[in-house]
Structure 1
């Protein structure tokens, strides 16, 4: 049986269509997926992301452990309480176990937020790797998480919790703060819009959700979350990367830090030896149709495959991410096979949309 978040009954009461996502019963949409998408681009929408898992990493050797565990270097954020870092966690062969966010609270206190579908294997992997370092890796299923996204999101959150404003109004992007011992307010998200992700006790999440709804925030499901993240050019684990591909093939070279020659993170040797013959690019379709994952792509440099594709509500045409042979440049024409026909598309550089504005 799929797991359920503390807000499951609320989603059902709102008439959401429930689907299995990563082993969790989650809302796909509450009615119109397009309305939910546009609510985030134009005002504010909220997502139950409590299926994702917060994991506390505690101990004096936590920095050394995390510098070994992750491809990005947590030394970049050490000493900056609340600062977040995006990284991949790799297998020794270089494949991506998961993409995640790590927060620094103190030298002996960190937090990692991992994806729902990979949470069990992530925790098992982290706990095994942590043994030589003497740190504890503790999953926090007592916590829930709500993402509030859109140009009006922060102001509405402050209207619901005015006592949070002083501590959060000056937060820079990809930074958070503990407004109390168990509540983290972070200026992060997965939509290409501003807003907050709030981690709070599971016992408090329904009252928070209901207060946001009363203040005019539109509940949004996985459908809108997917179109929003793809417009923002953000990868989805299991589609755009997984354990069979390394970060250089997934548009994630920027998350790999090789600057410190003495840092021997898991997967480093494999990445240094890996062939760089494929890359992830953005596509926009030049004719009517909708691109979807696993469709074939023909480029001047050889064949590739779509990893994610959708109709972009903000743009009015179909967009996609595709893994193709290296060498393609923005502006080049390619062809995508849709229902037996090869349709023209153009290579573009993601993101497609940011802060409500088209970039391609």
Structure 2
């Protein structure tokens, strides 16, 4: 049975084209996907991400539990309200999911995980939390609205109570604050996002989501669907779980080695496998590609390199850079930006592509070297 977020009627009232997304009825676009993409890059757009899993962890040993659960080190979170991005691994070092964890107290942490892995994540977390006496509480009664773009913070700040606006104006990256909207709804606001733009992700009771959505519409924030969300995140060089990584891939193979903390004395799940792979040599790596010829790079296309064959994982036509971009997994080798000899098989034709650094887009413009 297809699930619906609390904002489903709001999407349909706006004429959204709805599609099945991992068992959820979600908006693909509200008209022009390209216009939605550009509006986020140039102004402010909003996404309903209420399908994502919010899981609260309570208990005196919650930090100790997260030391064991996550590949990144929860001990980096020393200030209440700060957030950490991490992979959650199985014993073989494969990525069960990537998620964000928020430090709300020594006995209270909040996890926001992907929608498609909701049941799997919850079962894994509950399985390992029991030994630490940590209560695992899914918060299905909450909704999430992401507001992204150069004007996003200003538009959201104008909608909170006047005495709390300074709190949001001063909020740093990967930090959170709890404030109230002018309508009185409690808003858990995180300065995070999945577009490469500044903005907020707002968690609130589902009962108040439609009113906040309408207030944002009235403030000039345009709705954006899954299509624009995907092109925006790829321009930002951000991985998509289930496409760029899964249990068959380690963080090192997914370009996420920077999220692995091999801090002394911490035996997290998957650590031994990662150390073994790092010692033996990581066999595959993630590379970013740009194609200057006309056409689109797509998932599943074969990548030909001097080190052997690889595959496009995420590919699209970048509305901001006006050329095809992609993330690909290839055999390990020297694929620093500018590496030569890389091609993509497009319907039997070998088309040259350039290896570049990510992000493809920065501050709303193509990053250096992307436009050729």
Q: Which moved more, 1:270-279 or 1:61-70?
A: 270-279
Contact 2:157/2:168, CA 8 A, preserved across alignment? no
Runs of 4+ in 1 over 4 A off after TM superposition: none
Alignment of 1:1-360 (within 5 A): 1-78=1-78, 80-163=79-162, 164-179=164-179, 182-258=186-262, 260-274=263-277, 275-327=281-333, 328-333=335-340, 334-359=342-367, 360=370
Deviations 1:281-318 (A, max 9, x none): 10000211100111100111111111100000000000
TM-score if structure 2 supplies the norm length? 0.94
Q: Provide the aligned length of Structure 1 versus Structure 2.
A: 358
Secondary structure (helix, strand or coil) at the match of 2:258 reads helix
Comparing 95-104 and 177-186, the one that deviates more = 177-186
Partners of 1:88 and 1:203 in 2: CA distance: 31
| TM superposition shift of 1:261 | 2.1
Q: 1:331 aligns to what SS in structure 2?
A: coil
Distance (Å, rounded) in 2 between the aligned partners of 1:55 and 1:183: 16
| Displacement of 1:46 | 0.2
The verdict on how the C-alpha distance between 1:131 and 1:182 changes in structure 2, with shifts beyond 3 A counting, is farther
Write the distance in 1 (CA, Å) between the matches of 2:49 and 2:347: 34
Contact 2:160/2:179 (<8 A) preserved: no
CA–CA separation in structure 2 for the residues paired with 1:212 and 1:159 = 10
Contact 2:321 2:365 survives alignment (8 Å): no
In the alignment, the residues of structure 1 paired with residue 355 and residue 253 of structure 2 have an alpha-carbon distance, to the nearest angstrom, of 16
Q: CA RMSD in A?
A: 1.1
Separation of aligned partners in 2, 1:91 and 1:267: 6
Q: Alignment partner of 2:353: what SS? A: strand
- Corresponding residue SS for 1:18: strand
Q: Please give the alpha-carbon distance, in whole angstroms, between the structure 2 residues aligned to 1:175 and 1:8.
A: 29
SS in structure 2 of the partner of residue 247 of structure 1: coil
Q: Distance in 2 between matches of 1:48 and 1:189?
A: 12
Q: Do the aligned residues in 2 keep the contact of 1:96 with 1:241 (CA within 8 Å)? A: yes
5+ residue gaps, structure 1 = none
Unaligned runs of 5+ in 2: none
TM-superposed deviation, 1:162: 4.3
